[in-house]
Amino acid sequence: MEQPITEQSNPLSSNIDVASSEEIVQILYACDLEIFHGWKNSQGIKDKGLIDKIENLAKKISNVIEKPGGGIVISGCGTSGRIAFLTARTFNCYLKSKGKEECFQYIIAGDDKALFTSIELAEDDPVVGAEKLNQVCKEKASVVYIGVTCGLSAPFVAGQLDLCLSQPEKYTPVLIGFNPVELARNLDIEKWDKTFLQVAQNLEIAEKQQKAFILNPVIGPEPITGSSRMKSGTTTRILLEVLSLFAIQKDIKLSIEELMSMYESVCNCVYKQSHHLGSLIDLAGASLNSGGNIYYLGCEGFGLMAMIDASECPPTYGASFHDIRGFVTGGFSALNNNDGDLSNLGSQYQISVEDFEREILPAITSDDLVVLLGEDIFQRSSKSLLDLPCKKAYVTFQWDQTSTSSTCVEFGLALSIALNAPLVDRISPDCKFLVMQLLEEVSLKWVVNSLSTGAHILKGKVCQNMMIDVKVSNSKLFHRAVGIVQNYSSLSHEESCHCLLKSIYDTDILTEEQTSAPVVSHINAASQKLMVVPVAILIAKLSCSIKSAKEMISCQPVLRKVLIQKDCSA
């Protein structure tokens, strides 16, 4: 069976783990260009069929929200839900500034606690998904529902799409993802009667009757296999922004293709700085490798974008939540989120720059890195950081510069990236500022994704282009982990699964009860354990005991090095 494209290994990045920092950035660039240029026979987001659909859908949204009781709901899990939140927030702010009704709503699996912390298990529940959508829309007469699941896989979203299909008079369902429908996930969903594939096929039928939309451009595999926070997250952002803009602003004075080409132009501008971005990765990698932490500080969209980047590091790289954290000025008061202020839930939810200054700054060390994102936060915080021992970096964007400058001034690495999108001056004055903000935020996404990915590569959390310390925290990640173990061994799928279970249950001999338990029990057992997948890989590859696998990893956490040492001594 062909693997979904979002779970395949990208040949462009197969040596990213042994690349220099600057080369890492160049590899990420090459992979990101597939968003715009396509992959194999696909044309990426410039596909004519996709652009026509976006145009029709934007008209549909516009009709729905113009009527009383009409609304648009964007939903997803993990990064997809976070991008849904960010889009709803941005466009509601814009509508409010124009004196119009705020008509965007978002849903994220796991609710707002999942906005900046990882709660992957919530992704597996289609029933809760449908209940949440019902709740959000109970007062609405007509809704365009956009479910984002990059891998066409999340049961939470499947439940919502299925609900929409059962009430066509109220809902127009839209699916955004990055696999062809036939590669949608076809695994049983616990306590449900359909697979994602079946729901997607029903949606295809509804699309033919013009009652649904599927936006699923193929943009090629992720640079780190399966890491949908990267290209897929970026493409989600671009699609949602283009759609929303064209739905609420009829007079942009640009075509959809032209707007998309502006995203491509800023992508080129950012990655042209591979040398400077490489230096940023070196700083970040040095911090993580010496046990220090990385702190992003930013205002508004920059702070939020950076927090989204940080929040995916625990499930992707087995990182602790302290390793990379983001803070935004004003914290929850700046968010406009569904559940309001969550800061009393514990330190993970203390997200304001003020919290950072109070709780973290006094104990900052030379191993830590503070990254200021944007001029506003630089004006606010750079002076107080100057005399502190931590490493410092500053990233900002300029539209009025022709070249990028990077100076290792006393502040550390100060990088000002010149953005240039040729059509910017043609945009109608009403939304020019908004478009520039969106382009800056996506540029920032490329910068922070490069930083956090590069730093974890330098920490040894990637082998070839696989995330070998992925947290086994939901069904998709469980199956991905089995695939990773199998990839590094010559074992069958079943044998690889057993190695993973041995690591999860911390035993050399599995009981019948353990092997026959449902996936959710494995996930619960794995939730408190560290290095589950690396240990499983060693057991699978070296046929060793759990104890010796753990000993090897405690002496040398970089798996590729352990394997090389073993190959040499064999």
Q: Of the listed pieces 290-298, 473-481, 508-516, 541-549, which binds ligand F6P according to CB under 6 A?
A: 473-481
For residue 357, the 8-state DSSP code is I
CA neighbours closer than 13 Å in the CB half-sphere of residue 147: 35
- Please state the separation of Cα 569 from the chain's center in Å: 40
- DSSP assignment of 151-214 equals TS--HHHHHHHHHHHH-TTTEEEEEE-SS-GGGS--S--TT-S--HHHHHHHHHHHHHTTS-EE
CA angle 399, 403, 404 (to 5 degrees): 85
Nearer Cβ to ligand F6P, position 27 or 122?
A: 122
Nearer Cβ to ligand F6P, position 215 or 414?
A: 215
> Do 141 and 67 contact (CB within 8 A), yes or no?
yes
Is 140 a binding residue for ligand F6P by CB under 6 A? The answer is: no
Could you count the other beta carbons within 10 Å of the beta carbon of residue 515?
13
Q: Of the listed pieces 147-155, 203-211, 393-401, 459-467, which binds ligand F6P according to CB under 6 A?
A: 147-155
Q: Of the listed pieces 136-144, 343-351, 469-477, 534-542, which binds ligand F6P according to CB under 6 A?
A: 469-477
Rounded to whole angstroms, how far apart are CA atoms 102 and 93? Answer: 8
Is 153 a binding residue for ligand F6P by CB under 6 A? The answer is: yes
Is 77 a binding residue for ligand F6P by CB under 6 A? The answer is: yes
Could you count the other beta carbons within 10 Å of the beta carbon of residue 448?
26
Residues 33-52 that bind ligand F6P (CB under 6 A): none
Question: In this chain, which of 7, 34, 112, 123 binds ligand F6P, going by CB under 6 A?
Answer: 123
CA angle 461, 465, 469 (to 5 degrees): 30
Nearer Cβ to ligand F6P, position 105 or 475?
A: 475
Residues 296-355 that bind ligand F6P (CB under 6 A): 312, 315
Nearer Cβ to ligand F6P, position 70 or 173?
A: 173
Rounded to whole angstroms, how far apart are CA atoms 251 and 245? Answer: 10
Is 76 a binding residue for ligand F6P by CB under 6 A? The answer is: yes
Min separation Cβ 461 and ligand F6P, Å: 14
For 60, the enclosing helix (H) or strand (E) is: helix 48-66
Is 129 a binding residue for ligand F6P by CB under 6 A? The answer is: no
Min separation Cβ 156 and ligand F6P, Å: 8
CA angle 336, 342, 345 (to 5 degrees): 170
Q: Which amino acid is at 404?
A: T
Is 80 a binding residue for ligand F6P by CB under 6 A? The answer is: yes
> Do 128 and 56 contact (CB within 8 A), yes or no?
no
Nearer Cβ to ligand F6P, position 110 or 278?
A: 110
Site string for ligand F6P, 477-496 (x = CB under 6 A): x-------------------
Phi, psi of 395, deg, nearest 5: -125, 130
Q: Of the listed pieces 205-213, 217-225, 244-252, 474-482, which binds ligand F6P according to CB under 6 A?
A: 474-482
Is 195 a binding residue for ligand F6P by CB under 6 A? The answer is: no
Number of residues that bind ligand F6P (CB under 6 A): 20
Binding site residues, ligand F6P, CB under 6 A: 76-80, 120, 123, 148-151, 153-154, 228-229, 312, 315, 474, 476-477
